Amino acid sequence: MTIPNLTRAKIEENTSSGSFDRGQEYLANGAVRSIQRTDEHTLKAQVQGGDVHPYLVTITFDADDIQSVQCTCPYHGGSWCKHIVAVLLKTLKQEEIPVAKPARLNNLVEDLSRTEIIALLKRLVQRDPQILDEIRNERPEIVDGGDAPRR
Ligand SMILES: [Zn+2]
């Protein structure tokens, strides 16, 4: 369990019976797309609702309890909406969710085109000229100011 002291009963207390039932249906239908723990005390989840784009649910908690819940859906009934209910129910069924690592460099750059990579390198060199030395080390055959090697 990721959120301390969370129980099914506590979720029911904070929502309407309608939202609780709908939340259970959402969970059963796989509407909870992803749950990520972005830091020690924050969970972010995407829930597919009636809209094309999923709603984003953000839950913060401390060592004892939930601190805040938020959902980007239009529901403002004063209690937790069905998306929040679905996410919380899901956390009850899961092992503790580890804090997500930031996206890896590989994932970030592997789809870039050659042109994009060159533009990115130029910007990086502008910001930090030492990067140019790194690149030079990769290409020792190319000498600055001299003639390019003949073929
Ligand atoms: Zn919602």
Percent of the chain with pLDDT over 70: 95
Q: Whole-angstrom Cα distance, residue 100 to residue 38?
A: 6
State in Å: Cα 56 to ligand 1 middle. 8
What is the predicted pLDDT for the residue at 146? 53
Say if CB 66 and CB 60 are below 8 A apart: yes
- Indicate the pLDDT class of residue 105, thresholds 50, 70 and 90: confident
State in Å: Cα 145 to ligand 1 middle. 62
pLDDT at 147 over 60: no
Q: What is the mean pLDDT of residues 47-62?
A: 92
pLDDT at 119 over 90: yes
- Compare 149 and 8 and report the one with higher pLDDT: 8
State in Å: Cα 74 to ligand 1 middle. 7
Percent of the chain with pLDDT over 90: 67
**Every domain of the chain and the residues it spans:** 8-93, 105-138
Q: Whole-angstrom Cα distance, residue 129 to residue 92?
A: 50
pLDDT at 101 over 70: yes
Q: What is the mean pLDDT of residues 69-90?
A: 93
- Compare 52 and 48 and report the one with higher pLDDT: 48
State in Å: Cα 151 to ligand 1 middle. 65
State in Å: Cα 70 to ligand 1 middle. 8
Domain 8-93: assigned CATH number? 3.30.310
DSSP state of 99: B
Is the pTM for the entire model greater than 0.75? no
Report CA-CA distances (Å) from 90 to 19, 25, 43, 102, 121. Answer: 15, 12, 12, 23, 42
State in Å: Cα 48 to ligand 1 middle. 10
Report CA-CA distances (Å) from 76 to 15, 16, 70, 79. Answer: 11, 12, 10, 7
Average pLDDT, the chain: 90
pLDDT tens column, 26-37: 999 999 999 999
State in Å: Cα 87 to ligand 1 middle. 10
Dihedral sign from CA coordinates of 32, 86, 88, 48: positive
Report CA-CA distances (Å) from 79 to 24, 71, 84. Answer: 16, 11, 10
